[in-house]
Structure 1
Amino acid sequence: MAVGHSVDPARWQSVFEGLMAWVAGRFARVEPRRRARGFVLSRFADLPRKNCCTLAEHAGDASPAGMQHLPSRASWAADQVRDDIRDFVVEHLGDQDAVPVVDETGDVKDGTASVGVQRQYTGTAGRIENSRVAVCLVHSSPDGHAAIDRRLCIPRSWTQDPDRCRTAGIPEDPGFATKPALATEMIAQTPDARRAGHLGHRRRGRWR
């Protein structure tokens, strides 16, 4: 969770350990759970470059194999972890003035195999690049802000090519969705929207 003021390291560590305990049950084995903890802590480290090799080194691993295994082959419930993190953030940063903030982020890529990649504009580079783009949802309150959801944009160049989608492991018929549609879908899944049963009305009270 990010805040606008200086961060108390002890408090941050306490909240982080609480979050890891919150999502612990989503990992089938203790090894990926421990690896995930090391992965996240390494991502926050002041490293000149951040890839599986540097993250593994910072975490004290003998090789990058474990860090590479975590996002690609390890057994853990990614969507359920996302839901748990969303509920945890809202629980700790709930406020009557909290708002959802939507933005997109680009990831410059080489080649054509990465899911959703094509030549398109990305704000990350400030120009058209071979990249993929995701829409992210952030919970923002006077006490701080944190990302709580994300959706990868799958361009029409992909959705209109079933063979390419199948080869990349995309579920059958993903369908094309615009960025506003993806944002609406994420907002609809926030706890407050689920209870309200509709969008477009920001109630006084917590986004919970």
Structure 2
Amino acid sequence: MSASERFDQYMAHLSRALGHADRHAGLKGYCTGLMLPLSRKSVEPMAARVDPLHASARHQALHHFVAKAQWSDVEVLRRVCQWVVPHMDFSRGGWWIIDDTGFPKKGVHSVGVARQYCGMLGKQDNCQVAVSVSLACDQGSIPVAWQLYLPQDWAQDAERRKRTGVPESVRFATKTQIALHQLRTLLSEGAPRHCVLADAGYGVDTAFRQALSDMGLHYAVGVTSAVVVWPPGVEPLPPETYSGKGRPPVTPRRTAQLQPMSVKALALSLPAQAFQTISWREGTNAPLTGRFAAVRVRHAGGNAGKASLRPQEWLLIEWPVEQAEPVKYILSTLPESTALNDLVSCAYQRWRIERDYQDLKQDFGLGHYEGRGWRGFHHHASLSIAAYAFLMSERLIADKPAGGKKNFIERQVPAVPQDYIPRGRPARTAARGQLDHKLASSAELRTHRPSGTVPLLRPHQHE
């Protein structure tokens, strides 16, 4: 079966999430446009490339499909998973990767826009931010849950909510609360209990880490250098004896000799022989290596060190030999028997989400949506992920992409008219190596199927 035929099957599989049959052409046209090598993947330039002889009509149809039509982006992502996951190899383990990504915006009217930290810019600026959970294995990763973070002033503004179509059910939630809700939903639908990875923006939240443990999930999450722990070999005294009045005391007692310390102070106190050089994966030109140490600690419950005694867990420290102090700290509840190599390998799988965002923004137009509404933002993102997922599945199917073949979408659509000038601001994406588009797919939907909800991550039987 050719990649073009598999794309047709993929579109038929996704189309069952759309409801009405008249949306199926929109799905295929939009995904086709997202996989074409266009500099800007908003609706107008995609319409002009997919159907240049009827660009205006196609523009209106695609805009209605992504911004107005009432289909479920959650169900589309569910079906994306069902297509891709059977091709992923979890024999060496899997991971849930939590992260968020920003989309710079100039105006103030797009849903969720506020002055907040934007990782894409590396600073506070006007932007939208979305929280995602990705499923990863050694071969790759794919976002399986996606939601816009709605700042509190937006969540409390009835007029702006109505104007941008924010659902009534959406209330203010922190990014960690959104991520935990996404994970709970995934697990309730039968998803596996893989180790959770996240950066320090999530890992410093004690309640977040405790919630992961309560869900029965291991984690390896970043923390800041100020987080306080009980170092190896130092155990606090038991809480004071209960007097019978009020709540029983739970805070471990400290003395001048028994004190918790920051993870930075602990790292600086370790002897040089505690650190080992570990290689965790192959880079572009050479293996990626670092200098690491891992010790067993107990989190002391916030910077004040006031909380009940917590179980022991790993503190992984990265300290490059050329640096004056450590650069990363990671807390992990992986088993005590976990070897240092395996601990490093697991914790540093989080790089995959950075590459996902880079590819999605650079090559699949994730940040190019120009509408202002909640529905369009989520629809566009789910379709960008769907296009990305098809290319990923093709790479997993084939050991190597077929060489010497031209992009089969480009062969089937007319060229853009020479006098066509697309509107909209230029794309603002991170620089990266060229992504291979040779496995993008064809442009016509042949099969119309009824919609239906399917449990998340159930393997799809390809026809």
Shorter-chain TM-score tier: 0.7 to 0.9
Q: 2:78 and 2:99 mapped to 1: Cα distance?
A: 19
Counterpart residue number, 2:14: 23
Structure (1 or 2) with the larger CA radius of gyration: 2
Matched, 1:48 2:39: yes
Assess, with a 3 A threshold, how the Cα gap between structure 1 residues 172 and 163 changes in structure 2: closer, same or farther.
same
* TM-score, normalised via structure 2 length: 0.38
Q: What do the CA deviations read for 1:66-120 (whole angstroms, capped 9, x no partner)?
A: 2211111124232222222233332332514121212211112232221111111
- What is the alpha-carbon distance in structure 2 between the residues aligned to residue 183 and residue 120 of structure 1? 18
TM-score normalized by the length of structure 1: 0.79
TM-align CA RMSD = 2.6
Instruction: Structure 2: state its 5+ residue gaps.
Output: 194-214, 220-456, 459-463
Q: Which residue does 1:38 correspond to in 2?
A: 29
Q: Distance in 2 between matches of 1:151 and 1:199?
A: 23
- Evaluate the alpha carbon distance shift between residue 181 and residue 75 of structure 1 in structure 2; reply closer, same or farther with a 3 A threshold: closer
Aligned residues: 194
Q: CA deviation at 1:201?
A: 4.5
Which residue number in structure 1 is paired with residue 149 of structure 2? 153
Structure 2 Cα separation of the partners of residues 175 and 159 of structure 1? 6
Paired residue type of 1:200: L
Gaps of 5+ in 1: 1-9
Q: Is the 8 A contact 2:74 2:145 kept in 1?
A: no
Where 2:150 maps in the other structure, the secondary structure is coil
Q: Which has the higher helix share?
A: 1
Q: 1:101 to 1:123 in 2, by over 3 A?
A: same
Q: Using the alignment, how far apart are the partners of 2:156 and 2:135 within structure 1?
A: 33
Deviation sequence 1:135-170 (CA, Å, 0-9, x none): 122221123322211011011111222333233222
Q: Which amino acid aligns with 1:37?
A: K
Q: 1:107 aligns with which of 93, 103, 106?
A: 103
Greater relative CO, 1 or 2 (CA 8 Å, sep 6+): 2
Separation of aligned partners in 2, 1:77 and 1:126: 32
Alignment CA distance shift 1:21-1:125 (3 Å): same
Mean Cα deviation higher: 96-105 or 113-122: 96-105
**1:77 and 2:94 matched:** no
Alpha-carbon contact 1:162-1:173 (below 8 Å) kept = no
Question: Which 4+ runs in 1 deviate beyond 4 A?
Answer: none
The 3-state SS of whatever aligns with 2:167 is coil
Identity percentage of aligned residues: 26
Distance 2:125 2:94 in 1: 34
Structure 1 residue 189 and structure 2 residue 206: aligned? Answer: no
Give the C-alpha shift of residue 191 in structure 1: 5.2
